[in-house]
Structure 1
Amino acid sequence: MSYKTRKLKKLFGPKVTGANGIETIVPQKRFTSLLLAILFTFLYTAAVAFNPLEKDVLPASSMLFGYFISIAILMSVLGLYARNYHKRLTESPIEIFFILLINLLLILSVQFIYYIHGYISFTPLILTSILISVAFSRRLAIFMLFIQIALLGLITKAGHSRHYTMLLPLEAPYIFAAFIPGCILAVNGSVKIRNRLKLLNVGIVSGIMTFISIYALHLIFNGWEALDLRTHDGRAIFSTAGWAFANGTITGFVATGLLPLLEGIFEISTDLRLLEVSDLNQPLLKKLSMEAPGTYHHSLTVANLAESAAEEIGANALLARTGAYYHDIGKLNRPEYFAENEFQKVGKHGRLSPSMSALIIKAHVKDGIELAEYFRLPKVIIKFIPEHHGTNMLEYFHKEAMTAAKDDAENQVSEDTFRYSGPKPSSKETAIVHLADSVEAGARALAEPNPANIAVLVKEIIMKKLSDGQLDECNLTLKDLAIVQSAFIRVLTGVYHSRVKSPPSTIEETI
């Protein structure tokens, strides 16, 4: 097994050979994710049913079975959601483990609050919402919020609520419901966050909203007496709302400290991490600018193209831009063998056979993965290195080999020798960089890069990629491709437009 195959298997999982003879990714990690979901269903059941305040810490078998069925239904709903809207979870055991572990810790934290007779408004729902939103997406965070509230609602039916109503006039499920506005604010505030300190503001605002929501619910059920601090109930309500505000405020500090830790342990790439990696002063990018300046400037242009297109179709523009910065870092090992870095009339490939040239060109994928891992780049960035080529054909060298083979009947040309091993782009972001890389190289080679020629070039390249099946494994729609095409044409026209030549001036005119 080759070095590159081992690296790709480590990154993407096992492969099989398809009908076209090209290796394709098989999402076998889904089975591991399923096993994790089953395991956590049992753990959730035990955590929900456990009641240290009662003589019998576990309920009757019928009730226990009811909890198990209820939690299994919730887990099934989560699985269906992930399959349809967030496939990244089903194919990444470490990420589904992160989500399921957060839910388990949330349940245990509520059990601890019940055990010490604390305030249920200190439940870390705002914290879990922020972490999921920053690590994954706003949609997933809001969906998980309702799953979590349903799980916590089961706890109050396990014999705990009667202990808790001695402290508060409002049942705990309503308190959990009061968290919804604050958590949604936290989710919206933490999406595409660019500064860790902003999490502090998000936490405070969410705490204020939860404070108001708790008072609003108490006014509904208790009337104006809820505002009377002279009564026991009024003081209890104020304490509950006050702890909710403290919850949000503390959450901002805790989330700021937890995110770097979680990024390291679970290898989750947040926008904050991507911002750090996208700094052009990063050692690897500085090295690229010094040793392969042509590749470096090519990468910057591809990044501009990818960011613009991703922004317009609603993909992760920061991820696309950062991935574009690093997609060609493997060229650092032999920069002189790539056209953008050749400064001589006769290139290095003029002295090599087509198959040897193809071997050197394709090797930059393996070299790039090795460099990326050495510099500890996030896996989500490393995926851009092999996927930005997909299973493209090195057409120039393939044609050269075919021409040479006509004069030598014994010399059989294998198409696989001149085709990248893949995998094909598996996300919108890697697909956009895949297209941007090709259109930038094509536009650079145009003799007359005027708007009309650029538009024709971009359309031809996108149609060629589509017909070649390079976009089969990503979720770009035809509508997305039309938007991407327009974005590419606009950016490339600005970069490679033809300048109006000024007439030469005489020395006398300039004096």
Structure 2
Amino acid sequence: MLSILCWLGFVAACTAILAFESINEGRYRVVGALFVVVVFLSVGAAFYVYHYGNRFLYNHARTLSLIGVFLVLLAALKVAVLSSGASRWTPSWGTGTAVVAAIVFVIAYDQRFAIGMATLYAIFASLAVGPRPGDGFQLQGIGLFLTMAAGVATCCFSLKEIRTRMKLLEVSAMAAVAVFCMALSVVYLNFLGEPQDLVSVVAAAGHHALAAFLGGLLIQSLLPLIEKTFRIATSMTLLDYSDANQPLLKKLAMEAPGTFSHSLLIGSIAEAAAEAIGCNGLLCRVGAYYHDIGKINKPKYFVENEMGSASKHKELSPAMSQLIIVGHVKDGVEMAKEYGLPSVLRQFIETHHGTTLVEPFYHQAMKKHEDSDPTGKRPKGAPPCESEFRYAGPRPKTKEAAIIMLSDAVEGAVRSLADVTLAKVEIVVHNIAMKRLQDGQFDECDLTLRELSGIEASMSKSLAAHYHGRIAYPTPADAPLPPPTKPQVPRMVET
């Protein structure tokens, strides 16, 4: 219902913007004709979104952001056109806003969706620019649309991610060159057979190219606002958050060094697995760095931070231990909000355990319950409920989040192996992956079995390489014998 209301609002707003002059002058037939055109274009856009971006239909914030970008750019273009009048700059404003729309959409969405939406905007922009001076109601024609389309296509196909501050400048420069060549060709076609002043022709094409380049510069300055509006993080932002001097990472390294080391390893494993199936490896790596930040509050209750000391869980009941272990997810989310971590990174904190069972403490509670009656009779009271020993969730909703969940589980399991070989690692990784799959942890993300197989292969290779065997150094004959060691008591490991 809300999607329909958004569509109706979009049609009404676009018609009002495009037909602004006609409404003021009382030419209601023109308004009606523009309304019909807008309705048909909007219906086509709705079908395009339904087929190629239907996930946006359930994310109303993203839908409203998309509509907002359309309307703001169209309104800005209309104001510029009305202010410029019959100036040579008038058509070039449309080219500049089309490039801005293309860059914004390809940053916020994927390339296929961006080129469709940006092309639709170019059509609306052609209508907004209006007729050529002295031609009555004749529109600028296909020439202006082709000029915009050149900039749109260049931006969408050359901008996949922003890892450096020069990337947007490079894309803007390429778009300006493409726009200049197309505009130059269009100007010659419009005046075919008529002698033209070369300087005027080049100047007209240069106006479009300059507008396209300035559009890219505008996005460079508005990038933080775009990220906040669409609730995304570009690769450049992710690289900033991967810096070890970030306050949260520095705090994790100081107060929970074992967890910090574990997170770095998970990051490299997850990045390789994501790239093996064509996902965002950088997002996985940075998300892995932050997925366990909730352990900062109680680091000594997690085995990787015990540093040889006795386990604190020996003094606690299984239920209390489970509450502490599960609590690190909630603590991590609260810390992420406190430090202003982007929502795209917070998802890894929330979902890296999904709704899995805390098996060690559940089995310990079951054993304690069964041993509660030494006479061998039926134990008193109800046995512990499995749901009480599960994480609260949510389960992963993206492939990257699922990769982090699996990386976290297999790393701990492989670390506990006495003899690490590739064959043993593959068995452990496959068993854990199938266990998560059968437990329904991947039900809410679109991960396929083929992709899961590729993830398993990549993780097995990474883990076997990291935990490879080493040749023992020779001991000198006169070296003192090492002191006898006491047998180690098995420790509780988080799963």
Tell me which of 137, 140, 144 is aligned to 2:113.
140
Comparing 336-345 with 65-74, greater Cα deviation is found at: 65-74
Structure 2 stretches of 5 or more lacking a match? Answer: 373-378, 480-495
Do structure 1's residue 93 and structure 2's residue 60 form an aligned pair? yes
Q: Quick one: which amino acid aligns to residue 415 of structure 2?
A: R
Kindly report the root-mean-square deviation, in angstroms, between the aligned alpha carbons of the 2 structures. Answer: 2.5
Assess if the C-alpha contact under 8 Å between 1:119 and 1:243 holds in 2.
Answer: no
Aligned to 1:214: 183
SS of 1:383 mapped into structure 2: helix
What is the 5 A alignment of 1:327-476? 327-344=291-308, 346-406=310-370, 407=372, 408-476=379-447
What is the 5 A alignment of 1:257-336? 257-336=221-300
Q: Quick one: which amino acid aligns to residue 460 of structure 1?
A: N
Aligned to 1:36: 6
Q: CA deviation at 1:59?
A: 3.9
Comparing 135-144 with 367-376, greater Cα deviation is found at: 135-144
Within 1, Cα distance between the matches of 2:411 and 2:193?
A: 67
Within 2, Cα distance between the matches of 1:196 and 1:128?
A: 19
Assess if the C-alpha contact under 8 Å between 1:206 and 1:248 holds in 2.
Answer: yes
Aligned to 2:157: 188
SS of 2:417 mapped into structure 1: coil
Aligned to 1:17: none
Assess if the C-alpha contact under 8 Å between 2:292 and 2:332 holds in 1.
Answer: yes
Tell me which of 49, 68, 72 is aligned to 2:19.
49
Structure 1 stretches of 5 or more lacking a match? Answer: 1-30
Change beyond 3 A, Cα 1:196–1:38:
farther
Percentage of identical aligned residues? 35
| Cα-to-partner distance string for 1:336-378 (whole Å, 9 max, x where unaligned) | 1111112245311111111111111010111000000000000
Assess if the C-alpha contact under 8 Å between 1:74 and 1:147 holds in 2.
Answer: no
Q: TM-score, normalised by structure 2?
A: 0.87
Assess if the C-alpha contact under 8 Å between 1:313 and 1:483 holds in 2.
Answer: yes
Q: CA deviation at 1:255?
A: 1.2
Do structure 1's residue 125 and structure 2's residue 98 form an aligned pair? yes
Within 2, Cα distance between the matches of 1:444 and 1:224?
A: 77
Within 2, Cα distance between the matches of 1:442 and 1:57?
A: 74
Q: TM-score, normalised by structure 1?
A: 0.85
| Cα-to-partner distance string for 1:81-122 (whole Å, 9 max, x where unaligned) | 4544xx2x3333332222211111222233234323343123
Within 2, Cα distance between the matches of 1:165 and 1:396?
A: 80
Within 2, Cα distance between the matches of 1:461 and 1:420?
A: 17
Q: Quick one: which amino acid aligns to residue 258 of structure 1?
A: L
Q: CA deviation at 1:381?
A: 0.8
Assess if the C-alpha contact under 8 Å between 1:293 and 1:341 holds in 2.
Answer: yes
| Cα-to-partner distance string for 1:433-453 (whole Å, 9 max, x where unaligned) | 011111111111111122111
Aligned to 1:103: 70
Within 2, Cα distance between the matches of 1:45 and 1:338?
A: 60
Q: CA deviation at 1:62?
A: 4.2
Q: Quick one: which amino acid aligns to residue 468 of structure 2?
A: H
Q: How many residues align?
A: 466
Aligned to 2:167: 198
Within 2, Cα distance between the matches of 1:192 and 1:382?
A: 20
Aligned to 1:66: 36
| Cα-to-partner distance string for 1:185-240 (whole Å, 9 max, x where unaligned) | 222333211122331222122111100011223344434757x426xxx72x4333
Q: CA deviation at 1:463?
A: 1.1
Assess if the C-alpha contact under 8 Å between 1:95 and 1:268 holds in 2.
Answer: no
Within 2, Cα distance between the matches of 1:58 and 1:258?
A: 38
Change beyond 3 A, Cα 1:351–1:38:
farther
Q: Which has the larger radius of gyration?
A: 2
Change beyond 3 A, Cα 1:281–1:59:
farther
